[in-house]
């Protein structure tokens, strides 16, 4: 198997008494897109910041291929943080060149690359415009260019799509894919499951600082994308207790969702449906990444409520 | 270190190109000049009053006339029309009564003995006449001593004391001017001192810009991007050096205009010759230390503030620290080696200005004390940079709120 460019092992980080990241391990390979998913406060940004060395992890290892020290070599890593901004009263080109200079990238090369990317992102001729005159989307494009201007081997994007309109999202998606195709190892975090589903090669879903799901996109889908059956109709939940192969029943007014076990045969399963079930509408499809995500996020809510009752 | 220079270069370019820098660089001297010259323009009436000639009759019975005459003639500002007269006192007095700006002094053996000289004046006299009159006490007193049979050296000794008293007597008119004048005459360090104080003032002011810069870096959320390429201490040092350059550029522009202007206006003192003395180096070094102290303070605490408008009193108080030396100015002007001066030399935030001021005023420097104060200042700078480094490292990445003093204390201890 290919050696990952970046390997993170047993990463742990606490703030005060609260452990934000517990034993998270993953790898990012060249030419692959690895996605970190998780609800708010799951520890995504903390993990990324620990990898970047902006935070010092309490335990664990961050190892970059052929790099003798712990952590990542800054010159070959591009980083777009979640909390991002630009100096206001400077020209776009100046700030891009400054960030390139900080990475020891030759200015001349950086300039031509910057012009190329500005054109690609629809910002042609804006290189002398001041940052304060940019719209939020334009600023975000500029930040993105700044993070890849030095042709990084490893690109880390924390919530790259937040605040972008669908058109810009597509531009970013396209560019991220292309970078990966050219051999860049990419680690990104996002809330937007549909985008992750389209983009990511490898997945890491964390919750409360712990790894919940990990693997390649196909593995995860295989493992978790079970069927679910949604029935609209005035039914009591108790009717479904005798239906086989049902993992879980969720009811919300007239809507009942039956989560089915893996590997069942749908036509056979349908024949077990009780005769008295009222069906106004019925759909059967696979659980999306989105639902896995929501399932975990809401479980967290449940757990919190229980915790409060006990307390 | 390479990264530090990159940051410094960036901060320098970014600020020097800024419109507000250009405006403040060229406007500040204009404003200062305005404030210096406007009062002179407004007080024009006073000047014309001074320019009016005062007719002074002196009846000299003891023979001080030649001394008085040379003294009066040597004073350019003294617009006196001196006339020694042997005329009858009554006729002169009637003439005085009828005219304006006339006076009659009678210096007799009696007045020498009692030390009281009778002066008759017309109803109107020039504003500063009574002050100017004090000048005459010198030759008269000299004559007194001569009568007492003192030797020349004794006279000189006593005269020196008397001139000191005269200084006190004019205190009511304009104390500062008198002291400064005496300082200019006495200490050759005045010119480098003033220049160093201007440098200190200017670079500490740009030091205050660092507070904003650090705070803005946080507000605009650039720090995390920048910190993915370098360490917090690179960033902090780069800012300190960059703004130092900004301050220096500003002050060089000011001095570039100021020194030739001063050399042209103030003819009594050889500005350039007096400026380029070894002592200037020491004073400049102190000014730089002063800058580093404040720059470190501001960059550290600036990183704890996201919104300057809502910053607590705590951070607001820190912004007042550069003005601490103002407390010591008055006592130092009165007594450059006094207790207040000594105390001020050992309080880090006051000591740069206090030390330079004292060095400027004193001909003989208390080397031991200055040396100690210098060591204390240097140690404070070192400590402040360490301390601010710790605050900066955590503060710059803390988003969404201003840090409380309690939190900052925790970071320092960590």
Which pLDDT band holds residue B400 (cuts at 50, 70, 90)?
low
Q: Quote the pLDDT of residue B43.
A: 63
Binning pLDDT at 50, 70 and 90, where does residue B375 land? very high
Nearest chain B CA: its distance from A11 CA (Å) = 19
Q: Using one digit for the tens of pLDDT, what is the confidence trace for B378-396? A: 999 999 999 998 888 888 8
Q: Is A83 within 8 Å of B221 when comparing Cβ atoms?
A: yes
Options 3.10.20.30, 3.40.50.300, 3.60.15.10, 3.50.50.60; which CATH number does A6-222 get?
3.40.50.300
Q: Which residues of B touch A54 (CB under 8 A)?
A: 224, 227-228, 397
Q: Could you say which residues from 199 to 218 on chain B have a Cβ atom under 8 Å away from some Cβ of chain A? A: 216
The closest CB to that of B225, out of A55, A84, A101, belongs to A84
User: CB contact, 8 Å: A64 with chain B?
Assistant: no
Task: Share the mean pLDDT of chain B.
Answer: 79
pLDDT tens digit string along B168-199? 444 444 444 434 444 444 556 788 888 888 88
pLDDT digit string, tens, across residues A77-95: 999 988 888 888 889 999 9
Question: Distance (Å, rounded) from C-alpha B304 to C-alpha B291?
Answer: 20
What's the pLDDT tens digit per position in A206-222?
Answer: 888 888 888 888 887 77
The mean per-residue pLDDT over the stretch B283-294 comes to 90
ipTM: 0.75
Please give, rounded to a whole number of angstroms, the shortest distance from the CA of B199 to a CA of chain A.
27
Provide the token pair at A144.
Answer: 């993105």
| A vs B: CB pairs below 8 A | 57
Measuring CA to CA, how many Å separate B20 from each of A157, A166, B35?
35, 39, 21
Residues above pLDDT 70, as percent of chain B: 86
The dihedral through the CA atoms of B328, B331, B335, B339 has a sign that is: negative
pLDDT tens profile A221-264: 777 667 888 999 888 888 888 888 888 888 888 888 888 887 78
Location of each CATH 3.40.190.10 domain in chain B: 47-169
Is the pLDDT score of B221 beyond 90?
Answer: no
- In terms of C-beta distances under 8 Å and separation of at least 24 residues, what long-range contacts does B61-66 make, across chains too? B61/B106, B61/B107, B61/B108, B61/B109, B62/B107, B62/B108, B62/B109, B62/B112, B62/B143, B64/B107, B64/B139, B64/B140, B64/B143
Per-residue pLDDT reduced to its tens digit, B312-345: 667 778 888 888 888 888 888 888 888 888 888 8
Measured CA to CA, the distance from residue B148 to residue A125 in angstroms comes to 94
Cβ within 8 Å, pair B229-A84: no
Shortest Cα–Cα distance, B52 to chain A (Å): 58
Q: The whole model's pTM is what? A: 0.70
The pLDDT value given to residue A94: 93
pLDDT tier at B218 (50, 70, 90 boundaries)? confident
Distance (Å) from the C-alpha of residue B245 to the closest C-alpha of chain A?
18
Question: Is A263 an interface residue toward B (CB < 8 Å)?
Answer: no
**3-class state of residue B312 by DSSP:** coil
> Does residue B311 surpass a pLDDT of 70?
no
User: Which CATH code for domain B47-169?
Assistant: 3.40.190.10
What is the pLDDT, as a whole number, of residue B160? 62
Stretch among A152-156, B232-236, B398-402 having the lowest mean pLDDT: B398-402
Residue A150 has pLDDT above 90, yes or no: yes
B201 vs B380, residue with greater confidence = B380
Strands A227-232 and A255-260: what pairing? antiparallel
The partner residues of A210 in beta bridges, in order of sequence, read A207
pLDDT at B165 over 50: no
* pLDDT surpassing 70 at residue A40: yes
Task: Give the 3-state secondary structure of residue B290.
Answer: helix
From the list B6, B18, B224, the residue facing A81 with the nearest CB is B224
Look at residue A307 and tell me whether its pLDDT is greater than 60: no
CATH number of A224-310: 3.30.70
Name the A residues in 137-176 with CB < 8 Å from any B CB. Answer: 143, 146-147
C-alpha separations of B117 from A283, B53, B69, B89 in Å:
121, 22, 17, 15
Mean pLDDT of B114-135: 78
* Gap between the Cα atoms of A54 and A72, Å rounded: 11
């Amino acid at each position: 198997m290919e050696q990952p460019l970046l390997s993170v092992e047993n990463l742990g980080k606490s703030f005060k008494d609260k452990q934000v990241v517990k034993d998270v391990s993953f790898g990012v390979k060249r030419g692959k897109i690895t996605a970190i998913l998780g609800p708010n406060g799951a520890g995504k940004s903390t993990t990324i910041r620990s990898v970047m060395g902006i935070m010092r992890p309490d335990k664990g290892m961050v190892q970059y291929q052929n790099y003798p020290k712990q952590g990542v070599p800054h010159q070959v890593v591009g980083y777009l943080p979640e909390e991002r901004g630009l100096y206001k009263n400077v020209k776009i080109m100046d700030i891009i060149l400054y960030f390139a200079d900080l990475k020891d990238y030759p200015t001349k090369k950086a300039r031509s690359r910057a012009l190329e990317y500005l054109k690609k992102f629809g910002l042609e001729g804006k290189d002398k415009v001041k940052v304060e005159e940019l719209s939020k989307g334009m600023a975000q494009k500029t930040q993105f260019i700044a993070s890849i201007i030095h042709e990084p081997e490893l690109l880390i994007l924390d919530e790259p799509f937040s605040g972008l309109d669908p058109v810009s999202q597509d531009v970013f998606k396209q560019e991220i894919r292309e970078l990966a195709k050219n051999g860049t190892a990419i680690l990104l975090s996002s809330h937007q499951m549909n985008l992750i589903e389209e983009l990511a090669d490898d997945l890491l879903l964390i919750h409360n600082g712990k790894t919940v799901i990990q693997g390649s996109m196909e593995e995860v889908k295989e493992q978790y994308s079970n069927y679910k059956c949604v029935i609209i109709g005035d039914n009591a939940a108790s009717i479904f207790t005798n239906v086989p192969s049902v993992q879980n029943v969720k009811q919300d007014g007239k809507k009942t969702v039956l989560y089915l076990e893996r590997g069942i045969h749908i036509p056979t399963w349908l024949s077990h449906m009780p005769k008295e079930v009222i069906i106004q509408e019925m759909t059967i499809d696979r659980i999306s990444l989105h639902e896995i995500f929501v399932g975990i996020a809401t479980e967290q809510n449940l757990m919190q409520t229980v915790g409060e009752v006990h307390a | 270190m390479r990264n530090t220079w990159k940051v410094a270069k960036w901060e320098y370019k970014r600020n020097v190109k800024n419109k507000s820098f250009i405006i403040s660089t060229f406007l500040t001297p204009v404003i200062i000049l305005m404030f210096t010259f406007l009062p002179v323009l407004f007080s024009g009436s006073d000047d014309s009053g001074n320019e009016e000639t005062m007719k002074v009759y002196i009846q000299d019975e003891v023979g001080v006339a030649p001394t008085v005459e040379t003294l009066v003639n040597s004073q350019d500002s003294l617009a006196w029309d001196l006339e020694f007269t042997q005329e009858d006192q009554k006729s002169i007095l009637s003439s005085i009564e009828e005219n304006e700006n006339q006076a009659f002094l009678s210096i007799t053996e009696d007045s020498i003995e009692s030390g009281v000289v009778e002066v008759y004046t017309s109803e109107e006299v020039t504003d500063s006449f009574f002050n100017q009159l004090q000048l005459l006490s010198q030759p008269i007193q000299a004559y007194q001593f001569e009568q007492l049979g003192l030797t020349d050296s004794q006279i000189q000794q006593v005269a020196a004391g008397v001139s000191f008293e005269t200084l006190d007597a004019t205190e009511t008119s304009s104390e500062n001017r008198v002291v400064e004048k005496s300082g200019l005459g006495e200490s050759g360090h005045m010119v480098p001192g003033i220049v160093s104080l201007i440098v200190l003032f200017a670079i500490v002011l740009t030091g205050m810009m660092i507070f904003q810069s650090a705070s803005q870096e946080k507000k605009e959320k650039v720090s995390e991007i920048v910190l993915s390429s370098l360490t917090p201490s690179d960033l902090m040092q780069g800012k300190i050096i960059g703004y130092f350059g900004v301050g220096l550029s500003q002050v060089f522009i000011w001095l570039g205009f100021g020194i030739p202007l001063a050399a042209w206006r103030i003819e009594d003192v050889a500005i350039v010759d007096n400026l380029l003395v070894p002592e200037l180096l020491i004073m400049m070094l102190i000014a730089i230390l002063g800058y580093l102290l404040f720059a470190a303070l501001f960059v550290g605490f600036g990183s704890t503030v996201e919104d300057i408008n809502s910053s607590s009193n705590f951070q607001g108080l820190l912004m007042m620290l550069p003005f601490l030396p103002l407390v010591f100015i008055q006592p130092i002007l009165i007594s450059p080696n006094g207790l207040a001066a000594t105390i001020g030399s050992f309080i880090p935030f006051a000591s740069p200005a206090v030390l330079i001021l004292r060095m400027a005023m004193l001909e003989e420097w208390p080397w031991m004390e200055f040396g100690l104060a210098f060591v204390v200042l240097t140690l404070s700078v070192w400590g402040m940079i360490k301390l601010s480094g710790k605050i900066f490292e955590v503060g710059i990445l803390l988003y969404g709120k201003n840090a409380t003093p309690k939190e900052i204390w925790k970071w320092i201890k960590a």
